[in-house]
Structure 1
Amino acid sequence: MKKSFFTLKLNRNLLLLAWSCIGLSFFFAACKKNDIPYYHGKQYIQFLDPYTDTMSVAFFLTPLLDTLQVRIPVKYIGEQSTEDIAIGFKVNAKETTADADVYQFRSNPVLRKGLATDTLYLSVYKKQNLKGKEALLVIDLKQTDRLTVGETIKSRKVLRLSDKITRPKWWDALIENTYLGKYSDKKYRTFIEVTGEGDLEPYTIEQKRDLMLQFKYYLIDKVDKGTPVLEDDGKDMLSTVPLIG
């Protein structure tokens, strides 16, 4: 017996409804799994990046500065606010290893009205108890009467504070074999003092080469004056720099 047109249409609609329900179930399960906040008129705050993305604050890159000003972006989610909203946060004492005297937050931070992103401001001080060391500063956002903390993975910010020189990522095999030679802490420190630059990641290879030539000419000048810069093993630093030019 043939099924009526009405029956076929009804079965088709029921099938579409079933698939829609399944799709919505997966959507809400994914939201819960990824901790995506639901709006429903609430206002949320979170950091822009996951807490696994550690922020580095290093004094050796700026040897002439005793204080570093750090900006930590925060994101607002919800209906546009018509007034400033206070930001709640705390230093996680259990996870933080930095001494309290090496950092200070700007008092009474707020999310300014009408903005989707704003900033927490932090001062980090070059103190003797940080020299030659690394320390962690861990910040957790707090719920307030106006703001709910958003995604868990973006509710914390980890900062690595250091006044310790370490080999930078940009000093790779190409830089070692063609430009600056074998890495040493003393060579890197001298390079920063001469050029005023420690982080060459943003620069093109031509710009990097100009800075490295500046460094090499400084070493040549010291040799010409009879006061060569020596590595810790006593070797003339200039002899370890393969850069041609």
Structure 2
Amino acid sequence: MKKHIIYIFLILMGIFACNTEEIEVYSSSRYLFFPDSAKGLDSVAFSFSHYPGETTHDASFHVALTGLPATENLEYKLEVVDSLTTALPEDYDLPEKLTFTAGATMDKLTIQCNNVREALKTQKVHVTFKIVENENFAPGLSGKQMIRIIFDNIQSPPLWWSGDVEKLLLGKYSPKKFEHFVFATKVNDLTDMSLSEVRELVMIFKVYLIENNITEEDGVTPMIDGIPAY
């Protein structure tokens, strides 16, 4: 009987030891992943043509932690995935030091994209990064370890310049009209605005066009003639 009790005791001790070991391994490890990833890749896409006058533009991503938050800022590492990248090194700048904030379970990563090559006016490029292991962090959830930035400087109307915004308020898109709209209103994205909010901006735009005598591409036709808003 005593042998059976001892045997059971040893089994329980073994189970307890295994569980303790698993907890210690988990609690001492930290994993990073991109929580907004869909189908294995968190992507940001934009065109420099929608940001008149800008030579740089930031793309931001959320970075999440699995494991215990650190008591001090810790560096992590990203690596370019060459097989999933067409951008050249001069097209982007990764921060020299990537740091996950002490005490946080969610942080932000910001990568600068550069509008320095004429090729971007006719070519869309992309750069892909993945989390790689270092002394502080390992890649986290499978399928959420990569991000991609897609960008160009190709003249094109923003997605919101369509439907009633085009028909009732701004009229037909042109690169020159868009550029002056941004200069006049200091706004380049109307995606989440109501028609009444857009109309207020268009009224500011119309005043700007009149005061500055802005014409269409032909240099003769007043641009305000193509603005249907009233």
3-state SS of 1:153 partner? coil
For 1:137, the equivalent position in structure 2 comes to 127
Task: State whether residues 85 and 146 of structure 1, in contact with CA within 8 Å, keep that contact through their aligned partners in structure 2.
Answer: yes
Task: State whether residues 165 and 189 of structure 1, in contact with CA within 8 Å, keep that contact through their aligned partners in structure 2.
Answer: no
Specify whether residues 91 and 129 from structure 1 end up closer, same or farther in structure 2 by C-alpha distance, changes over 3 A only.
farther
For 1:238, the equivalent position in structure 2 comes to 224
- In the TM superposition, residue 212 of structure 1 has moved relative to its aligned partner by 1.0
For 1:43, the equivalent position in structure 2 comes to 30
Task: State whether residues 59 and 149 of structure 2, in contact with CA within 8 Å, keep that contact through their aligned partners in structure 1.
Answer: no
Among 152, 166, 176, the residue aligned to 1:162: 152
For 1:199, the equivalent position in structure 2 comes to 189
For 1:121 and 1:219, locate their aligned partners in 2 and report how far apart those are by CA, in whole Å: 36
Over the matched positions of the two proteins, sequence identity in percent amounts to 23
Among 209, 225, 228, the residue aligned to 1:219: 209
| 1:54 maps to 2:43 | yes
3-state SS of 2:216 partner? coil
What CA RMSD, in Å, does the superposition of the two structures yield over aligned residues? 2.5
Superposition TM-score, scaled by structure 1 size = 0.71
- In the TM superposition, residue 99 of structure 1 has moved relative to its aligned partner by 1.4
Structure 2 unpaired stretches of 5+:
1-24
- In the TM superposition, residue 159 of structure 1 has moved relative to its aligned partner by 0.6
Structure 1 unpaired stretches of 5+:
1-38
Superposition TM-score, scaled by structure 2 size = 0.76
Among 53, 64, 83, the residue aligned to 1:75: 64
2:179 counterpart letter in structure 1: R
- In the TM superposition, residue 216 of structure 1 has moved relative to its aligned partner by 1.9
For 2:119 and 2:84, locate their aligned partners in 1 and report how far apart those are by CA, in whole Å: 17
Aligned length, in residue pairs: 202
For 1:67 and 1:112, locate their aligned partners in 2 and report how far apart those are by CA, in whole Å: 25
